[in-house]
Every structure is written in structure tokens, then in C-alpha cells.
Chains A and B, each alone.
Chain A
């Protein structure tokens, strides 16, 4: 049976990765969970009044402060319950840009909560504006010079891990068992935990609605979005990438329309470089 805490019906676009991600992840949320949602696609997907998509208490917040709201909820509920979990469900704009300070504060405090970033690599809810999660060479509506982004994607999960948290992981909707297992671990971590889910957006990234899972799978197996976890100071790579699939991944998406052979090579170089860095960390973990 499909285990989820979503009700039937929602306001997402067809093929929305963020909705599939919530469908999968929420099945592993504990019974006494509160979901905190900053401004994002999920502010809409969650349902307009009087409807609600989630069958657990959810709190919508301003853009920059979901982990701080979660902090308040955690302390208030801790006076009454021992088995509750506060889960922040935030997009990449909130996680990588405007809410990063608030996330850093909450991770440093070490309170038990789980932060899940569903990443569609731009401000998709407002119509495809670049965020610091947007990859190099992506076309967005706010990258006027040459029409694509000239900067690399920020390494969000490594920033989170730098706060000495116990558990952090990446996942995509194409590997549901892996995703669910990671959410299960994250919500039972004693302190804070962070999950970074690649959840593609057909509208903003420019692919067919039916291809969301395929895109997610290619993102994972090509190494473009490495699938790994960090547990008790050890890195573990969950999917060994095949870099030869990068071209297929890139060419399937209209957002990369300006990429030529030269820029593709540059992307490959960056992806391999990032992966090698991860690989070193995972090998070090094995040796310890």
C-alpha cells in the first residue's frame, strides 16, 4: 500500500516532483508531526482555504524563517509530548537563499527537527527565477546576460553538514525506497537532520510532465545530483554515477538549451570534480 499523509487532490502542476516527494516522504513522518512550510510551491500545493492537502498539522510561514518557526513549535510541544517531530518542508529558494541564516541557527541550536529541502533548482512558484540552487548554464527569467546563469550551484548539504549534525542525505523521487529509508532515519535522529531532495519541475526546467521520474533518475545516475548520505560522521555514496549519461540528462531539458559542446565539457568537469570530492570523503569514512 502507498503509505502517505497526503489527502487526495492538490493544486500542483502535472508532473510536479515536489508533490511526488511529499507523497513519498510524508509516509515516514511520525504520527505526531507538524510540517512547517515557508513560501514556496507548497504554499499553493498545500491547498487554499478551506482545503488542506496534508493530513497532519501544517504551518505556513514567511519565506526566511521556517526553521525559527519550527524552533518555537518544538519547544512548545516538548512541554506536552515526547514523541513529536517538527519537519520543515522548504524549496530551494528558501533553503539556499533567503532562509539559510535561519536554518543555520536552528542546526546550531541542535534541537530535534528535520529539514527537508525539495529542490527544483529555481524559484519555480513565481515563474522560474534563478536561485543559488540553479546550476551553471541554466536559462531563467532573471539571468539576462547571455540568458543563462554563469555561477555554480551552491553546495547546500555540505553547508548543513558543517554544523556537526548527525544525519544528512540527498535523494530523488526516482529512487522511492532510498528516499523513504532516508526520511525514516532523518525523523528518528536525536538532533537535527537535513534531507536534500531533487524534485524536478516540468514547467520550469522544460521537459514533458510524464518525464519527471526519468529526469530524476538521470540526475542521480549521471552524477549531476549525487545520491549520498552522511551518518555519524561517515559519508556513503548510494549510487555510483555513470558520467556518460550527463549529455542525455542535459539535452532532455529546455533550460539547458544554450549549452554547446564546450559548456557541456565544463559541466562534466564540475560534476566529476564534485563527485571526486565526495568520493574522497566516503573513502576516508571507510578507512576510519
Chain B
């Protein structure tokens, strides 16, 4: 175990280096590129054994991940924004084939107009592709969740996205603990062969024509795997804690016990929301924060009990046109409490703690959903 000071994207590369990866197909896109550049650097220094293969598009990147995974390789790739959208067809193909692919996605706004900055529209658009989605808030969480993602993916045979905020996390520098290889090996043993993959002794026709008499059964199995994921995540968090002494919860909470208002958010907005809560409490507004880490599966857990009697303010860095903020809508489908949906920080607009304080005060005053468009200088 050692302390390192790294930028977010390098944290991803460090975790990948230690996860015993066989195959890394890549395609550059801002702001993901420094992940694959760092991996190229590791490859040049012979610090990773994985084949590092530049592809001709993100569509081909995910296709190569699928091919290699079917032939029992442990694979990794990373993308962002438009690249993730271009992959969309094959994201379905990866989950439908039940492949334990892990990909890090640096959230980026969707064009037009061209915008490389933080916005969750890219990953939100992939909500129903059958991928586990993990939204991270800080460097240590990124590192730990890449490693845990492989454990989860290989346990339930589903692909996992580990998602970072563009620039606020991908390009900011922080200290974190890098664990010893031996410990990681203990936590993440070598990948086992798929029972349904490419096998010369048992030639299968993989992904072939599935008519109305059996297609639905395959879908149901994926649905069941997502239910299984909920309990597996808890188990993996416990096991991770035993080996590395860091305990994660499905929902991270801050100052929640006596809070009248709970800010619910994701990504780096969680960090800013905690600072806002501290400040709001000084002026007598009892505020707590809840961080949602998983969009899929959206884990009900004891969320209903936890939010009982609270005023819930969801800050979404995304928008589903014709409906609303996606995390707010997800919550509304689970709890009976008043949920106020606030849209903020689209296209990389900064949402500093001061803005979050204003959001809470405005919700208390006006009791309605709104778009917070103020630019705080």
C-alpha cells in the first residue's frame, strides 16, 4: 500500500494495470484520452501484459471487447460522450451476450453544439442497455470501483460502467491509496472461462437467431441477474472492506440524521453538496446529503425508510426531454415524499457549493422544480 497523487484519469489506468487485464482496445476521445494514453505508457514500459490495440471507432472498440470476452479474455476500455453514443448498439450486444466487460466512461455533454464538458446525457442515454452503471465522486472511489467492477461483472456475467465526471474528476489531482498487487490478486482472482464462450471442444453458435419461442427467456435471465447484482454489490463491499479496510455503502450519506432537507445527487456534485450542507446548517437550515452511486440497478434498499418525512431536493446534471431530471424521476418512482427536481450544471457549467446553497434556499421558498442556470463567478 502506498499513497499516490494522481489525476482522475490516471487513477483509472492504475486500477486497470493491477486488474490482470488481457485485452485493451482503444479509441481516443476528449476527455477520456489520458486514460488510454497512460495505459499506452504502461504498455511501453512492459508494466501490463494486455494486448493494447487501437481501433477504428468506438463501435469497433466495443465489438473487439465482445469478441475477446467471448474468447475468455478479461477486457477493459474507456470512452466518453459521442463515443459512448456511437457504441450504443454494441452495449446492448455486450449485455445480451452476458459478457463481464468493464468500461470507464468520462461523462461528457452531447453535441450539438460541441461541448466536451461535464454532463450526464451520454450515460443516461445508455440507461436501458443492460449495463451496471456506477457513478463515482472522488479518486479513491474510482480506483476501488474499477477493481470491484471486475469482481461484480464476472460474478453475474453483466458488463459494468464506472463513470467519472469530465474534468471535475477526470482531470483534477488528488491523493489516494494504491494497494499492493498481492492484495488485489487475493480480492480479484484470475478470470474463469465462460460456460457459454468460444470453445473448440464444444463448438457453439453464439448469438444466433432467437425466435419468439425463446427470446423472452434470455431477457428474463438478464433481469434476474440485475436483481442478483443488488445483493452481490453488498457482498463485494463487505469483502472489499475485509481486505482493504474501506467500507462502501450503496448510498453514501452525509449529515442525514436530523436533516429536514436532503440533497440527492451524483458524481462530484456530492462533494460540493456536502460543503453546501455545512454552510446551510450554519444559517439554521438542517440539510443532509445522499449520494446515488448506482443508476442501474436502481437499488431500493431502505431508501423509502431513509427518506421518510424528509424534503428531497434532487440535483440532476442531465435531462430527459419531455420528462425531467433522471435521478429525480427514479426517486419519485420509489418514495412518496415531495421530490423537488433541479437541473443544474449541464454542459460543464460549474455548480459550486454556493450555487447549491442557493438551490436549497430557492426550493424552500418556491417549492417547485426548476432549472438553475446562474453562472457563479
Contact of B51 among A49, A61, A70, A75 (CB under 8 A): A75
For residue B70, which residues in chain A have a CB less than 8 angstroms away from its CB? 59, 72-73, 76
Contact B200 A68 (CB under 8 A): no
- Interfacial residues of chain A within 96-137, with CB under 8 A of chain B in the complex: 101-102, 104-105, 108-109
For residue A75, which residues in chain B have a CB less than 8 angstroms away from its CB? 22-23, 51, 53, 64, 68, 73
Contact of B205 among A47, A62, A65, A71 (CB under 8 A): A47
A237 to chain B, nearest CB (A): 32
Contact B68 A68 (CB under 8 A): no
For residue B205, which residues in chain A have a CB less than 8 angstroms away from its CB? 46-47, 49, 51-54, 58, 60
For residue A78, which residues in chain B have a CB less than 8 angstroms away from its CB? 51
- Interfacial residues of chain B within 171-224, with CB under 8 A of chain A in the complex: 198-200, 203-211, 214
Contact A57 B206 (CB under 8 A): yes
B93 at the interface (CB under 8 A from A): yes
For residue A58, which residues in chain B have a CB less than 8 angstroms away from its CB? 203-206, 208
B222 to chain A, nearest CB (A): 16
Contact A71 B64 (CB under 8 A): yes
Best-surrounded residue of A47, A65, A74 (most CB of chain B within 10 A): A65
Interface-side segment among B11-19, B55-63, B136-144, B311-319: B55-63
B287 at the interface (CB under 8 A from A): no
A48 at the interface (CB under 8 A from B): yes
For residue A77, which residues in chain B have a CB less than 8 angstroms away from its CB? 71, 198
For residue B352, which residues in chain A have a CB less than 8 angstroms away from its CB? none
Give CA–CA (A71, B64) in the complex, Å. 6
Give CA–CA (A103, B98) in the complex, Å. 25
B280 to chain A, nearest CB (A): 49
Give CA–CA (A109, B25) in the complex, Å. 12
A56 at the interface (CB under 8 A from B): yes
- Interfacial residues of chain A within 37-55, with CB under 8 A of chain B in the complex: 43-44, 46-49, 51-55
Contact A49 B198 (CB under 8 A): no
Q: How large is the interface on A (under 10, 10 to 19, 20 to 34, 35 or more residues)?
A: 35 or more
Q: How large is the interface on B (under 10, 10 to 19, 20 to 34, 35 or more residues)?
A: 35 or more
B69 at the interface (CB under 8 A from A): yes
Contact B206 A59 (CB under 8 A): yes
Closest residue of chain A to B197, judged by CB? A57
Contact B209 A48 (CB under 8 A): yes
A232 to chain B, nearest CB (A): 26
Closest residue of chain A to B200, judged by CB? A32
Contact A43 B198 (CB under 8 A): no
A9 to chain B, nearest CB (A): 13
Contact A72 B198 (CB under 8 A): no
Closest residue of chain B to A60, judged by CB? B207
B75 at the interface (CB under 8 A from A): yes
Best-surrounded residue of A32, A59, A68 (most CB of chain B within 10 A): A68
B66 at the interface (CB under 8 A from A): yes
Known: A59-B67, A62-B63. A71 touches B208 (CB 8 A): no
Contact A68 B63 (CB under 8 A): yes
For residue A73, which residues in chain B have a CB less than 8 angstroms away from its CB? 67-68, 70-71, 198
For residue A61, which residues in chain B have a CB less than 8 angstroms away from its CB? 63, 66-67, 93, 207
B290 at the interface (CB under 8 A from A): no
For residue B68, which residues in chain A have a CB less than 8 angstroms away from its CB? 72-73, 75-76
Best-surrounded residue of A32, A51, A69 (most CB of chain B within 10 A): A69
Give CA–CA (A42, B53) in the complex, Å. 29
Contact of A57 among B61, B89, B199 (CB under 8 A): B199
Give CA–CA (A55, B205) in the complex, Å. 9
B153 at the interface (CB under 8 A from A): no
Cβ contacts B69-94/A at 8 Å (1 or 0 each): 11111010000000000000110010
16 contacts between A and B (CB under 8 A): A36-B67, A43-B209, A52-B205, A53-B205, A57-B199, A57-B200, A68-B59, A70-B67, A71-B55, A75-B51, A75-B68, A76-B67, A76-B71, A77-B198, A102-B60, A105-B57
Which A-B residue pairs are the 5 nearest by beta carbons?
Answer: A72-B67, A105-B56, A76-B71, A72-B68, A65-B63
